[in-house]
Every structure is written in C-alpha cells, then in structure tokens.
Amino acid sequence: MPTQTYRTKAGKRVPGVTTVISQNLGWNNRALMIWANREGMEGRDINQRAEEAASIGTCAHAMIEADLKGVDFDQSLYPKEILDKAETAFLAWLEWKDFFELKSIHSEVPLVSETYEYGGCLDIATIKKVRSLIDLKTASGTYEDHLIQLAAYGKLWEENNPDDPIRAYYLLRLGKEDGSFHYHYYPDLTVCWEVFQNLLAIHKTHNAIKKML
C-alpha cells in the first residue's frame, strides 16, 4: 500500500501518525524480538512471515474499506492464500459491525493538523448511534502504540471538525486465523494524546539533528 503524503495548507510536508510512532517509540521492541527468536528457532524465515502477515492485514483492510464505502472489492489484486486468511478477518468485521449497529460516516479520510503539523487517515462512524472513531487491527495482539495512534487520529478529526466531536473511541482487533473479534472502548484518551505530542516533538528534533550531520 503506497505511503500517504500529508501537507499543510501552505504546502509544507508533515509526517503521518504511524511514521511518528514507529520511528520514535520502542515499547514493543522486546515483543518483536521474542517473536523473531521463536520464528527462527522453529526454522521459519521472519522476513517472509512478516511480509505474509502484512499482506493479509492489507487485504483485510481493503475488504473492510470497500464494505464501508459500499463498493466492490477487487479480489484479483491478491493471491488465493492471502484472500482466504483475510476473508476470515473480514467475516469477523461483518459480525462486529452488525452487532454494534455501525454506520459509516467517513472511511480512510486523510486529514492534516495545521496546529501540530502531522497527518493521518481515519475512519469515522456512528456506533450504537454515537459519533465514534474506530481503528482496525489484524495483529496478534493489542499494544500501547495502538491507543496512541487512536488518540492522535481523534485530535486530527476534532481540529478539522470542531463542531462534531468524537464521543467514543474503538480499537477493534480481528482474528486472521479463527474469525474472532476483540474490541476495546475508550471514552477518553487524553493521556495517550500527551504521549503522542512528546513523540512528535522528538520526531521534529531528530530531523533537525540529522540536518546537522
């Protein structure tokens, strides 16, 4: 999936939420090291496994985005083995969507913060008739950076839509293997937003230091 480019109204290029978090937060490094060690001990190529997992996640997200937008999903873009696993996660999505009375308002809408100078793409919906921000994950677990990402997306929406605030935050994890779903609901993510502001400051400072070399 191509990387989204974000620019302010003045044309200044700014980083995306996932870039800021992935390049400046190392809280999950230990979990990744444990996973890589386990895969290596069992004789599996970690690069191949990571690429496969990413492809399944990308495919599942594409299926869900098509569903949110009410358009057909192009299956020809993915091999059958990826489609089969992604479809398992997609069926979990359909079950969760129906159960929580989700109605899509905006899907993968790109926004930029002029105040904090960063961007992101987010999904806005009404869930149980409440204006909500939802983020989907097909990872094997949920991590702190997922909440930080969700909080940053929330601020993006509210800066660009001050008269239409977010009332609920949902983090939804969809199982690629068993079709299960697990969700987390948060009425407030203030502390996570504070962490993102610190990461954004580090990101900008890091770039300034690199220019000195």
Domain regions of the chain by residue span: 15-210
Q: Tens digits of per-residue pLDDT, 84-112?
A: 888 998 999 999 999 898 998 888 889 99
Please state, rounded to an integer, the average pLDDT across all residues of the chain: 85
Q: Which amino acid is at 60?
A: A
CATH no. of 15-210: 3.40.1350.10
Q: What's residue 160's pLDDT?
A: 96
The string of DSSP codes covering the chain is: -PPPPEE-TT--EE-BHHHHHHHH--TTHHHHHHHHHHHHHTT--HHHHHHHHHHHHHHHHHHHHHHHHT----GGGS-HHHHHHHHHHHHHHHHHHHHTT-EEEEEEEEEEETTTTEEEEEEEEEETTEEEEEEEE-SSS--HHHHHHHHHHHHHHHHH-TTS---EEEEEEE-TTT--EEEEEES--HHHHHHHHHHHHHHHHHHHHHTT-
Label the pairing between strands 168-174 and 103-113. unpaired
Which pLDDT band holds residue 116 (cuts at 50, 70, 90)? very high
What mean pLDDT is predicted for residues 23-28?
77
- Torsion angle of C-alpha atoms 5, 9, 12, 18, degrees rounded to 10: -40
The model's pLDDT over 151-186, given as tens digits with 9 standing for 90+, comes to: 999 999 999 999 999 999 999 988 877 778 889 999
